[in-house]
């Protein structure tokens, strides 16, 4: 592996990690050229990750004590299998720490969690231009779901359908 491997660890995020999580959300948005879309606050993160009904979970990756990456995930559900799935919303490693296998180690951690929780599958979306990530995903055996199109309803259109 590499000389940093023995200094690498993954931990489950706690409420005290909210500023770190928010910083990574901003870094990811910048990388994905979507910075203008980030509206989340520390209070919203606290409520949605650590409030009475947590909607997602976060893991943080550390090298020699410094946080170098994060992943945010939640469970979806397969009606055909009658089992949960693990949906990876975001995974990000600081650019200067890429190429060390940290992203793959986070994916392995999540795969283990999915197996422990009796999940039928792990799924995520990737931007079509993000070839480095696509290459990693293909290398671990993930397959693109080319026959499916993701639809999104948001903002005024969501409110319209809800009758609000």
Which residues are designated catalytic?
137
The DSSP secondary structure of 107-145, one letter per residue, reads HHHHHHHHHHTT-S-EEE---TT-HHHHHHHHHTT----
The Cα 31–Cα 18 span in angstroms is 20
Q: Is 155 exposed, middle or buried (0-12, 13-18, 19+ CB in 10 A)?
A: exposed
The Cα 16–Cα 3 span in angstroms is 29
The Cα 164–Cα 51 span in angstroms is 26
């Amino acid at each position: 592996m590499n000389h940093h491997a023995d200094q690498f660890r993954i931990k489950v995020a706690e409420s005290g990690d909210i500023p770190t999580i928010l910083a990574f959300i901003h870094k990811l948005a910048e990388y994905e050229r979507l910075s203008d879309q980030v509206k989340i606050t520390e209070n919203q993160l606290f409520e949605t990750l650590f409030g009475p009904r947590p909607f997602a979970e976060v893991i943080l990756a550390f090298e020699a004590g410094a946080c170098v990456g994060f992943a945010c995930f939640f469970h979806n559900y397969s009606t055909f299998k009658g089992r949960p799935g693990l949906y990876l919303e975001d995974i990000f490693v600081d650019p200067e720490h890429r190429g060390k296998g940290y992203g793959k180690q986070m994916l392995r951690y999540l795969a283990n969690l999915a197996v422990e929780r009796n999940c039928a599958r792990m799924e995520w979306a990737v931007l079509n231009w993000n070839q480095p990530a696509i290459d990693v995903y293909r290398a671990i055996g993930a397959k693109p779901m080319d026959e499916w199109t993701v639809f999104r309803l948001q903002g005024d259109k969501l409110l319209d359908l809800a009758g609000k």
